[in-house]
Structure 1
Amino acid sequence: MATSPDTRDGPVKKTKARCLFLKMAAAAHIPDTVTITNQAEVCVARTCPLISLAGLTLPAVSPLLLAQVAADVGFDAVGVNLLRVWYTASAQAGPFTQEVARLGDALTASGLTLIHGGHLLLGALDRPSAKSVLAAMRELRAQYVVLIAAPHAPRAIIDEDFAFVAAEAADLPMLVEFAPYTGWRTLADAMQFIDAHQSVPLRLLVDVLHLMRSESLSLWTRERDWPVGLVQVCDAPIALPTQESLQLEARGQRLDVGEGSLPLQEIFARVPRHVPIEVEAPCLALRNLTPHARARRSLACLLPFLAEQGYRPRAAPDSPSDQSKESIR
């Protein structure tokens, strides 16, 4: 498991998001200063975990602009698609290295953490690209590598690709993500893979939409000690779309927290308080918003929900305007 981002550089960094978070502490009768030395104390103190902005929420912007927007709005971290950067650089090491260096400078200047550098598709892995991306993740000190399984890929091929990634990732922790249109369709599928590879410390990436659409909620609520490394959050109508529409919904029809009817409170009851939370809410209906307005909207919707779940409260950015809410109806 990676060292907590709060301690790996020595003194605790006061990011903009954490400072905003503490401003409301007195109102909630929580001490306004908390000494954090490890993840256990983060959990005990009920302080807010890292809140990340996923690149898919702003699919049209570059990782560099995503980092700038996230820092300006008040996020603590970002999740980017480094494979996209690799292919944009025409799969050439020189241009890719330059882009990674620029992103690293932006992360350092803003105090942001890189939660992950995108997904690696086991069962259909482009190994030269994956090797370059993994090296970039190590350079950028990413918290996690995210793994997904290609649909219909033979298990033997998935295992071969996993062995390659595990060797190249070295000390980078890995997350297993399930989604109903991938090779790991359900929570049970993801746990089966984790249990079959206990020599490698694997954890779950739980996307609340995928949890619901894979009909895994009942299993999720029966257990308390899931090995969760990251939760991706959004909202959506409770009604299950057609099988053919699942991927379209996940990539462009998500809602911000509080604007749908997913049982988010029930889901978060099983999420350890120290686990990072990432907003992944791509919404084509909001594509005309500026990147800053779109990111600010998601954060403003998320923070009141977290406060209701017992997370340490923090001041939210300006609430979404009535006009922006109206635009997705």
Structure 2
Amino acid sequence: MIKDFDLKDLSIANLTVGGGDPVALVEAAGASGFGAAGLVLRTAMARPLSHEVVGRPEVVRAIKAACAATGVRVFDVEAFVLRPGADPASYRPALETGAELGASHISSIGTELIGNDSFLSDQQRIDLFGGLCDEAAAFGLHVGFEFMRYRDVPDMAAALALIEAAGRANAGVIFDVLHFHRTNGTPAQAAAVPAARIAYIQLCDAGATVPPLEGLPLEARGGRLHPGEGVIALDAILDVLPAGPQLAIETPVAAEAALTLKEKVASAAEHAARFAAARKARLAARG
């Protein structure tokens, strides 16, 4: 069971701010009390990153300096997409950069269904994921795989099957409560996930209206809610998840789209602390 946690226990996911300046994210995370942050090193979209890090030693130095000044560590780096034509060796520069920044985990995902007509076979996906895990292991990195209903590994069962088929010790599932909820996951199903196969846990909340398949990416990238402000059974899920994996806050909120990066991080911190305090009170009331 996940009981008490405070901001120093939490990582702030890059998606919360929509891919802003990594140095500014680390600085804002420190100012708001987060203990860690996630950074984007590879694009998962059909467009380049707005802030490139890989191959830019001056940016790497600036991020490391910000981490040293704030006490914020880089927890994870993303996104390593399993797509047709990808070669495990092509992931190496970003993996090396992630390790240099002090990351312990990376995020991998499948190919988006919308707008694509070419997909890996099951065996190709297993082989590519296994190769990614091997490349990551060379840098001491743990590979988290995140399922999404709008990608070709759509749910928890498919993600766990991929991880087991690859058979690498440094692999686990990213338990994003939004994607779990949108695949009709239940607390009982959450309880059945082997603790050793949970890479980390991403917290947010969601509205009652279920978007159509083509609307799910928009919700995930910009339409989430802060924990405790929606319909996800967060308490019931946290009651059955193990306390060991890293918790990350991933809350790109539509109503906050016009806020600055620093304001978004501060809002995420305020709402996360409020949710943590409310959960602590609810647990105490249970006795």
Q: Give the TM interval when normalised to the shorter protein.
A: 0.7 to 0.9
Structure 1 counterpart of 2:133:
166
Question: What is the aligned partner in structure 2 of residue 140 from structure 1?
Answer: 101
Q: Give the deviation of 1:200 after TM superposition.
A: 2.7
Deviations 1:149-183, CA, capped at 9 Å, x for gaps: 22442223323322332232112111111111112
Alpha-carbon distance in structure 2 between the residues aligned to 1:51 and 1:44? 12
2:63 pairs with one of 103, 124, 142: 103
TM alignment of 1:12-27, pairs within 5 A: none
The residue aligned with 1:180 is 149
The C-alpha deviation readout for 1:200-239, integer Å capped at 9, x for no partner, is 3322211110001112226524526433221111111133
In structure 2, do the counterparts of structure 1 residues 109 and 178 end up closer, same or farther at CA, with 3 Å as the change threshold? Answer: same
Within 5 A, what are the aligned runs for 1:146-295?
146-151=107-112, 152-169=119-136, 170=138, 171-217=140-186, 220-223=189-192, 225-226=194-195, 227-295=197-265
Q: TM-score, normalised by structure 2?
A: 0.83
Aligned runs of 1:2-81 on 2, under 5 Å? 48=6, 50-81=9-40
Contact 2:148 2:179 (8 Å CA) reproduced? yes
Compute the TM-score of the two structures, normalised by the length of structure 1: 0.73
Give the direction of change, closer, same or farther, for the CA distance of 1:44–1:158 in structure 2 (3 Å limit). Answer: closer
Report the AA paired with residue 30 of structure 2: A
Determine the C-alpha separation between the residues in 1 that align with 2:20 and 2:39.
10
Which stretch shifts more, 61-70 or 230-239? 230-239
- Bigger Rg over Cα: 1
Output one character per residue of 1:86-141: Cα deviation in whole Å (capped at 9) or x when no partner.
85577983xx2222222122112211121111120113436565211000011112
Q: Distance in 1 between matches of 2:210 and 2:164?
A: 29
Q: Which amino acid aligns with 2:121?
A: P
**What are the ranges of 5 or more consecutive residues in structure 2 without an aligned counterpart?**
113-118
Which residue of structure 1 lines up, in the alignment, with residue 115 of structure 2?
A: none
Distance in 2, matches of 1:65 and 1:205, equals: 25
Q: Is the 8 A contact 2:104 2:142 kept in 1?
A: yes
Which residue of the partner structure matches residue 302 of structure 1?
272
Take 2:83 and 2:2, find their aligned partners in 1: how far apart are those partners?
40
CA pair 225-109 structure 1, distance change in 2 beyond 3 A: same
Residues 60, 160 of structure 1: CA spacing in aligned structure 2 closer, same or farther, 3 A cutoff?
closer
Task: Judge conservation of contact 1:46–1:273 (CA < 8 Å) in 2.
Answer: no
In percent, how many aligned pairs have the same letter?
A: 25
Matched position secondary structure for 1:179? coil
Q: 1:82 aligns with which of 36, 41, 48?
A: 41
Cα pair 1:186 1:215 within 8 Å, conserved = no
2:116 corresponds to which residue?
none
Structure 1: tracts of 5 or more residues without a match: 1-42, 314-329
For the 8 Å contact 2:37–2:75, the answer to whether it is kept is yes
Matched position secondary structure for 1:269: helix
Query: For residues 14-59 of structure 1, what are the alpha-carbon distances to aligned partners after superposition, in whole Å with 9 as ceiling and x for unaligned?
Result: xxxxxxxxxxxxxxxxxxxxxxxxxxxxx99956572011111111
Distance 2:91 2:23 in 1: 20
